[in-house]
Amino acid sequence: MTHDMPKPQLEKPQYLDQRDGLKIAYHHTPGKQSDTEALNTKAPNTPGVMFLGGFMSDMTGTKATHLQEHCVRQGLGYTRFDYSGHGQSSGKFVDGTIGQWARDAIAVLDEITTGPQVLAGSSMGGWIMLLVALARPERVAGLVGIAAAPDFTEDLMWAQFSEDQKKSIMEDGALVEPTEYGDDPYTITRDLIEDGRKQLLLREPLNITCPVHLVQGMQDPDVPWQTAIRLTDALVTKDVRVDLIKTGDHRLSEPDQLDVITGHLDAVLAKATR
């Protein structure tokens, strides 16, 4: 569920201290117009954009930095961060769960950003963005899913594991699997699987009413394009758009694919600003 090769990070991140002692690394670029100015001029409060990365990915990837450049050019606020155990944040990856990473994202939303936000979630970040939208509906003005992978620990991992693999997870506490996306293997823990079952979203209607745009590659070996259709069916909002890229893989990081993503981001921002 990771997808971007990291870029060299020249600027040092800031850190958000969590109550549990973890430090969440982030980069935040304020928009040109502050919330106070918007209130004083009675101008529309243009949403900021918050990027949520994938499983074992980080905030230096191609999509995260491309969207930042796009937002900065438009004077929009932009925030990207690393979940605990990822990238430059503290903590161990093997201690992480979907619930923990959702709490990280909510903390960044609450304490770093101001005003309405459009969330752009890549792969696992597409699951996290939905959890954030459910927890903070008053703050989330729109969603852009990029190969969004809700429920992946159950539907795309556990369901495909052999009995031996499942036994390793349940009895040994973890399964270590190689991945084509980097040198470090995936470590799938029992806690990740069991916590993931508490966060499942596609089994019942999702009470999310903001605009949702989904971009999905049809050649994605990790997240079947049918997942986007399942998510569309689950969402309560009628404002859902699905863009299937026939030749797209899981990364969706080619220049033309990045243009598709930014196009959808602009469309959701336009709706959220009305």
Catalytic positions, please?
Answer: 123, 220, 250
What separation in angstroms does the CA of 5 have from each of 53, 213, 251? 12, 24, 9
Which element (helix H / strand E) includes 215? strand 212-217
Structure-block tokens of residue 78: 């932009």
Which element (helix H / strand E) includes 146? strand 140-146
Structure-block tokens of residue 128: 């996290």
Which of 150, 170, 273 has the alpha carbon at shortest distance from 223?
A: 150
Helices (H), 112-177: 124-135, 152, 163-167
| C-alpha 183 chain-centroid distance | 22
Q: Residue 253 corresponds to which amino acid?
A: S
Q: List all residues 6 or more positions away from 148 whose beta carbon is below 8 Å from its beta carbon.
A: 121, 122, 123, 125, 126, 127, 129, 130, 214, 216, 223, 227, 228, 231
Structure-block tokens of residue 241: 């758009």
Distance between CA atoms of residues 2 and 150, nearest Å: 14
